[in-house]
């Protein structure tokens, strides 16, 4: 990989992380009643998204929808087969039960995401009119509004929000 490609990859990762971090900071500012600071964090987060998308495009990291679904699925499979199991083990060995528990939630959800991507690959037209709901606690993603507790973290169905 060329130095520029490596730099694009690192810049993409950094800008992506900054976006997520600033959105979390905005939520905290909202909780503290600092709405203007929250607006600033959200605005800068949007700018970081623009940067990240440009870096990804320059890396030729966006393909056809089918290629993108395959790449996304590969990432989810790696996470639930390799990445999170190792992280769960490390957290358990260190006695960090909270991290181990949440890594387990994420691990379970990544496998569910892989199933959703596989379904989309096999029958993209079959997704017409489907709405997705996301658990605000663990990230579980389901088709249609849930009527039962989350299958991963067991919270009430009202903890899910509709993804736009």
Q: Give the CATH number, domain containing residue 147.
A: 2.20.28.10
Same domain, 153 and 106: no
Same domain, 41 and 89: no
The pLDDT value given to residue 69: 98
The whole-model pTM stands at 0.89
The pLDDT value given to residue 128: 95
In this predicted model, what pLDDT tens digit does every residue of 14-49 receive, in sequence order?
A: 999 999 999 999 999 999 999 999 999 999 999 999
Same domain, 75 and 88: yes
Domain residues for 162? 130-164
In this predicted model, what pLDDT tens digit does every residue of 88-128 receive, in sequence order?
A: 999 999 999 999 999 999 999 999 999 999 999 999 999 99
Confidence label for 66 from pLDDT (cuts 50, 70 and 90): very high
Same domain, 108 and 134: no
Which residues on neighbouring strands pair with residue 161, listed in sequence order?
134
Task: Write down which residue in 17, 38, 58 finishes a domain.
Answer: 58
**Could you tell me the CATH number of the domain that includes residue 24?**
1.20.1260.10
Task: Write down which residue in 29, 58, 87 finishes a domain.
Answer: 58
Task: State how many domains the chain has.
Answer: 3
Cα separation of 46 and 43, whole Å? 5
């Amino acid at each position: 990989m060329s130095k520029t490609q490596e730099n694009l990859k690192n810049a993409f990762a950094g800008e992506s992380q900054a976006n997520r971090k600033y959105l979390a900071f905005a939520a905290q500012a909202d909780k503290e009643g600092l709405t203007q600071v929250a607006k600033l964090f959200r605005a800068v987060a949007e700018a970081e998204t623009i940067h990240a998308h440009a870096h990804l495009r320059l890396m030729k990291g966006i393909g056809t929808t089918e290629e993108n679904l395959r790449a996304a699925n590969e990432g989810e499979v790696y996470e639930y087969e390799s990445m999170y199991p190792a992280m769960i083990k490390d957290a358990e060995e260190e006695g960090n039960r909270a991290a181990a528990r949440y890594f387990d939630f994420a691990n379970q959800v990544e496998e569910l995401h892989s199933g959703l991507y596989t379904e989309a690959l096999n029958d993209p037209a079959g997704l017409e009119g489907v709405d997705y709901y996301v658990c605000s606690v663990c990230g579980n993603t389901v088709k249609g509004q849930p009527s039962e507790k989350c299958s991963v973290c067991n919270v009430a169905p009202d903890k899910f929000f509709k993804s736009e």
